[in-house]
Structure 1
Amino acid sequence: MFILSSLLTAIIINVPSDQPTIQAGIDIASAPDTVLVQPGTYVENINYYNKSITVASLLLTTQNSLYISQTIIDGNSIGSVVTFEYGEDADAVLYGFTITNGHSVNGGGIFCESSSPSLKYLLIRDNSTIDFGSGLYCFDANPSLENVTIADNTAGWDGGGISCHYSSHPILMNSILWDNSPQEIYHDVPSSAIATYSNIEGGWTGTGNLDDYPLFVDPANGNYNLSVISPCIDAGDPASQFDPDGTIADMGAYYYDQGSGAGNNEFPISNFKLYNFPNPFNPSTTISFDIKENETGTLTLFNIKGQITESHQFESGNNNYIWDASLQTSGIYFYQLKTEGSVETRKMLLLK
């Protein structure tokens, strides 16, 4: 997951101690330097200017994926957050950031023209465009994406997640594209996206690909970590480098730490005592849980596509909710209990 050998020969430019901004670090860097960015929110729109350099968060040196959400490049809605447009190749690496709040005609999050950069361990969310490619726009470009989550981006025309034009062929592995509008991937002819071991809403042809609700912890509040029952855990390419916990690579920017049993969900371990009985069931099951004193909770039920079937509010204390699924079809369903400080998700099976 983390290759540090390049750091042995490269000059490391620290931001903000050596240079005040990421772009300032890029401007003085040369191949094969690394611009190493401390946690924080950097409101800027950066351009690599054909430099074969690595721009990375502390994820690169620590293997701690929490730095992805703690190191944010915010485009301030005035242009693409990151631009590759001068023939950058695979040695131009962007590693371990949240890319957000970009807005442009094309490529709100990342604009890529006539370039083939390496994009790794990125969360690209909440970007927008007037026309195409609000997450990633490719024009005569072949970037590689490894463990990238592209979610909740909106394009005015096509390609809410990725848009491919003029013989572009981005290569995706171990990545997630979900809840982008109006669709996850758009391409003209002969462009296309090559995806393997990735979870893409609506489906995409390729070895190991999924079309299953990824079960992020709390995407409505910006938490795209994988919950304990996410189908993306251990679903990455088995030939790719294992996660730091020694398990098969997960899909998406964040891996679920099975060694600790708690993951990297940025929520404290709950004491909900959340379960349902019977499970499997037909046609009803009782969902039981505890909510701490002076707190309220929201219980949400949804299907495998992430479509909400019911949502209810509950007060503190011991609660039991009987779910009658007579009108639902057989299959896997999920229920999630969320309070102000905790969230927990469980799986149940309806067999008719």
Structure 2
Amino acid sequence: MPRQSALVLGILWGFLVWPAAPCSGADWLVPSQVPTIQQAIDSALPGDQILVDPGTYQENINFLGKDVTLISTAGPAVTFIDGSALTQGTALGSTVTFSSGETGAAILSGFTIQGGNGTLLTDALGTYRRGGGIHVSVASPTIDNCHLKNNSSDFGSGFYAQGTLSLTLQNLQIMNNSGLEGSGIYLIDCGIVSIEQCNISENQAMTAGGAISINTCTQVNLRQNTLISNTALIGGGVYCRLSGLLFENNEVQSNEASLLGGGITLYQSASSCIDSVFVANSANHGGGIGLDGGTLTVEKCLLTGNIATTAGAAVASTINLVSVEIRRSTLTFNSSPNGSPGVFYPPLSAGGATSTLVLSHSILWNPTGLEIDIPTFSQVDHSVVSSGYPGTSVLVSDPLFQSSATGDFSLDPSSPCIDVGDSLLYTDPDGTSPDLGAYYFDQRPPALPPLTCQLEDPCGTTVSLSWDVGTQIPDSLQLSVGTDLTQLVPLAALPGTASGYTFDPGSSGPLILCVEPVTGGLTPESGPTCCEIDIPVPAPQIPILDLQCSYDPLSCTGELSWTNGATYSNIELIVNGQSLMLPGSVNSANLPLTPGLPTALQLIPQTSCGAILAAVECQLLCPIPEPRFIRGDANMDSILNVADVLFQLEHIHQSLPANCQDAIDCNDDGALDISDPIFLLLFLFDNGQPPPAPTLNCGTDPGPADSLNCLNGLNCP
């Protein structure tokens, strides 16, 4: 066979045997399309997305250097990757591995990662397992919204990263992992790492870093994390060695270290701790924070309820040289039965003798013992130190917290710590001189609750504004007005007790009205409280026009029609003092009239904004109709016969009651006598003249008028 033909057949065979993979950016469905996650990764191209349905997947997966997205369809609560099956071999026990240069475009999201026991590696440290749940080596994946729990390993039982230049971990729950070091997270030789909004709890390390261990990393930023109930020999929560650390806005609670640093331990690291809370952590030394050399800045932090069995319930160091600055922080209700409840350095040691401490604008208020127990002189200024200490503006009085029993360590309004700091160094957010401690007392008045804005007159433009100033009465209230929140202009200044204001802008359209309390020249942090109202264009107040009143004489029905001069909400029709409400859109009405009774009619419109306009009126009189009868039909049975003659005689001679005397008056002479029955007899039996009109059919008396009466009967309704 020619070589070219063999090549063509080979290509065709490849198309027939191997199914075509989706193009880049395609979705792979597990398990409906591909049975396992690893098979989907094997088949995927960079940029593809692997969608995994709920379930437990017993496999150990490797991203193989592919920047693909692996995401669950229903979240970590119902989607599990369990690495206990060791599907990659006994040495590759990490549940998830990134080790081939994956970038931030390699995404893992929405899984519970469990059952891993780590990848077996040998290096200068020895042969150990690394990364039980997730193992990252020289890669920078994106990991979000995952739970890492019940994994084991020597280093990084939950998560392990080595040699990554840039890494972000976000929105993770790392729980119940156990190992030798860094049982929640272990980082080594990394560049810039950010760990944010993670819950790392109940992890156990035999040596260091129950929750997190950081080793020789350029910069690690921990922000908005909670570290709760983790345990280790040193650094129950965090152990940081030879690294840069920014520890900001974290909660560190109930962590325990057998030796040093119940909350965190820092070894020869440059660290900053800002806006964080350390509560109820415990260790032999440094219940809250332990140091073994390095520098530490603590700013706007709270350390409370921490315990050291030996010394330094809040902060303690070893003999290595440390430099600590504590600024604008509160260290309170920490306890150490055998030593300082505050800050402790060991006495006259090789490092401790030259270690430094700066305490500024802080509160050290612990139950018993020496607050500052260090062998060198500390620089202390503008602080409360319960046991006293030489320095500038050092107080020993009770700082008066709002409610220490409930954990509220903000300052009471009567606290001696308010406005006593150095205004050349700091200014509180409310613009006043600095307070002492982690939480300043905001002297700005509270913003008003929502305002009530409404039109005073629905047909006008005057606005009524009302509010509740509450129990904290400000000095004054500043009112402003405008059509845009960014372009308000002053409207009025009112006493602080005022609760309302009326204002007429004189025009229609949207309007913003704001009220801002002022106390001591300060206004609320959130600014004024505002309401918005749209003042409508006043409706034209034109009454009803061209009222036409008439009646149908046959039915005695009144007929009214008119022109609406404007848009009305309703029209009141008053008939002889009786009111009837009509819709505002109608322009005619019919009503029955009582014959012979004058009917006074009024129409009073009301505009859509509630204005009552002038009434229009007319009067109708439907006259009583003349009676209808058949002359000669005395008994009113519609037949002229002898019975009518007899009825006439009985009425004339025996006074038989009659409804219509005109019908008995057969000759229409205006009198009832014997001539009437004779006239009828002659008509009936002797070809006499017929009775005058109305004859044979119902009708009215054409006249002349007489004194006889007549009522309509059944024969002439």
TM over 0.5: yes
C-alpha separation between the residues in 2 aligned to 1:254 and 1:16? 29
Aligned partner of residue 197 in structure 1, secondary structure: strand
Residue deviations 1:155-198, cap 9 Å, x none?
Answer: 1211111112222321111100012432312223xx23321111
Distance 1:193-1:84 versus aligned 2 partners, 3 A rule: farther
Aligned partner of residue 220 in structure 1, secondary structure: helix
Distance 1:53-1:11 versus aligned 2 partners, 3 A rule: farther
C-alpha separation between the residues in 2 aligned to 1:41 and 1:272? 38
C-alpha separation between the residues in 1 aligned to 2:390 and 2:419? 20
Residue 55 of structure 1 corresponds to: 247
Aligned partner of residue 392 in structure 2, secondary structure: coil
Distance 1:260-1:237 versus aligned 2 partners, 3 A rule: same
Residue 425 of structure 2 corresponds to: 240
Q: 1:43 aligns with which of 225, 229, 234?
A: 229
Distance 1:129-1:270 versus aligned 2 partners, 3 A rule: farther
C-alpha separation between the residues in 2 aligned to 1:29 and 1:237? 38
Distance 1:26-1:54 versus aligned 2 partners, 3 A rule: farther
Q: 1:222 aligns with which of 398, 407, 410?
A: 407
Distance 1:41-1:27 versus aligned 2 partners, 3 A rule: closer
Matched, 1:213 2:398: yes
Residue deviations 1:115-149, cap 9 Å, x none?
Answer: 21111111111111121101111333221111111
Distance 1:29-1:224 versus aligned 2 partners, 3 A rule: farther
- Deviation, structure 1 residue 105: 1.3
TM-score (norm 2): 0.31
Residues matched between the structures, number: 240
Residue deviations 1:207-233, cap 9 Å, x none?
Answer: 122112101001122111101111111
Q: 1:201 aligns with which of 360, 365, 386?
A: 386
C-alpha separation between the residues in 2 aligned to 1:53 and 1:138? 17
C-alpha separation between the residues in 1 aligned to 2:266 and 2:212? 18
Aligned positions of 1:141-290 closer than 5 A: 141-165=322-346, 166-167=352-353, 168-188=355-375, 191-260=376-445
Q: In structure 2, what residue type is equivalent to 1:42?
A: I
Residue 64 of structure 1 corresponds to: none
Matched, 1:116 2:295: yes
C-alpha separation between the residues in 1 aligned to 2:172 and 2:216? 14
Residue 282 of structure 2 corresponds to: 103
C-alpha separation between the residues in 1 aligned to 2:446 and 2:386? 27
Residue deviations 1:250-286, cap 9 Å, x none?
Answer: 1101011112359xxxxxx99699xxxxxxxxxxxxx
RMSD, matched Cα: 3.1
Matched, 1:74 2:253: yes
Aligned partner of residue 155 in structure 1, secondary structure: coil
C-alpha separation between the residues in 1 aligned to 2:311 and 2:386? 18
Tell me if structure 2 keeps the 8 A contact 1:164–1:193.
Answer: no
Distance 1:221-1:41 versus aligned 2 partners, 3 A rule: farther
C-alpha separation between the residues in 2 aligned to 1:25 and 1:105? 19
User: Rg bigger for which structure?
Assistant: 2
Among the aligned pairs, what percent are the same residue? 22
- Deviation, structure 1 residue 248: 1.8
Aligned positions of 1:304-323 closer than 5 A: none
Q: In structure 1, what residue type is equivalent to 2:244?
A: S
Q: In structure 1, what residue type is equivalent to 2:290?
A: F
Tell me if structure 1 keeps the 8 A contact 2:215–2:241.
Answer: no
C-alpha separation between the residues in 2 aligned to 1:196 and 1:13? 39
Question: Mind listing any 5+ residue stretches in structure 2 that lack a counterpart?
Answer: 1-165, 174-194, 201-208, 231-236, 347-351, 448-468, 474-717
- Deviation, structure 1 residue 42: 3.4
- Deviation, structure 1 residue 16: 4.1
**Higher relative contact order by CA 8 Å / sep ≥ 6: 1 or 2?**
1
C-alpha separation between the residues in 1 aligned to 2:470 and 2:285? 42
Tell me if structure 2 keeps the 8 A contact 1:15–1:36.
Answer: no
Aligned partner of residue 264 in structure 2, secondary structure: strand
- Deviation, structure 1 residue 27: 4.3
Residue 272 of structure 2 corresponds to: 93
Residue deviations 1:8-46, cap 9 Å, x none?
Answer: xx98764548664567777499544532215x5633411
Tell me if structure 2 keeps the 8 A contact 1:109–1:127.
Answer: yes
C-alpha separation between the residues in 1 aligned to 2:414 and 2:404? 15
C-alpha separation between the residues in 2 aligned to 1:31 and 1:241? 30
Tell me if structure 2 keeps the 8 A contact 1:226–1:256.
Answer: yes
Q: In structure 2, what residue type is equivalent to 1:43?
A: S
Q: In structure 2, what residue type is equivalent to 1:184?
A: E
Residue deviations 1:42-76, cap 9 Å, x none?
Answer: 3341122232131211xxxxxxxxxxxxx521133
Aligned partner of residue 300 in structure 2, secondary structure: strand
Residue 309 of structure 1 corresponds to: none
Residue 346 of structure 1 corresponds to: none
- Deviation, structure 1 residue 201: 0.8
C-alpha separation between the residues in 2 aligned to 1:260 and 1:30? 46
Distance 1:261-1:176 versus aligned 2 partners, 3 A rule: farther
Aligned partner of residue 405 in structure 2, secondary structure: helix
Residue 133 of structure 1 corresponds to: 312
TM-score (norm 1): 0.60
Tell me if structure 2 keeps the 8 A contact 1:12–1:33.
Answer: no
